[in-house]
Amino acid sequence: FLVNDIGIGWEDQNGAPDWMREICPDVIEHFDRFPYFSEIPVFDGFSRPLPIQTTNYAAQSVCTMKIVKSIAASVQARLYLHASSHLGAIVHGQPIPWDDDVKLWMDNKKKNEFLGICDLFGNDVPILASPEIVRLHCEDGRNALKVWLQVEGIKNDAK
């Protein structure tokens, strides 16, 4: 079984999206040095893709964590990966390939403070307005937080 003609790097030949360069330059630097695939590979003869993330997808997950970490630090909260985010880190050594959000656990009192910051913006925290509009979405799950970055005009399956 072979994977043919799969590029390494960013989906766009110009590199990372401008919004990500603006928000997370250190994440871009890392993925420029250690890129993933530029598209999701499929084995010859199979219709299903391999469970591997693209560079864009992985960098967006890491950028999400960086933003969430700074908000959590503002309420002195420790973060722990939870559910599929934890599973991805253990099994794949990266965000789980088919998951486009990050699930986190933190102390319940701190979680309420964290969500209070998100609530200031209706659980839709503006992160960047130019070149694209980027928002951090915060959702209170049963026992954890579900967060993701949403870039205006780009489909996101996290909901």
CA distance 14 to 50: 25
Single-letter amino acid, residue 29: E
Nearest CA among 112, 117, 123 for reference residue 147: 123
Q: Which band of pLDDT confidence, cut at 50, 70 and 90, is reported for residue 61?
A: confident
CA distances from 127 to 68, 95, 121 (A): 11, 21, 11
> Could you read off the pLDDT of 75-104 as tens digits, one per residue?
999 988 776 665 566 555 666 666 667 888
Of the candidate ranges 30-39, 43-52, 86-95, 110-119, the one whose mean pLDDT is the lowest: 86-95
Euclidean distance between CA atoms 95 and 35, whole angstroms: 14
Q: What is the pLDDT of residue 109?
A: 86
The structure's pTM equals 0.79
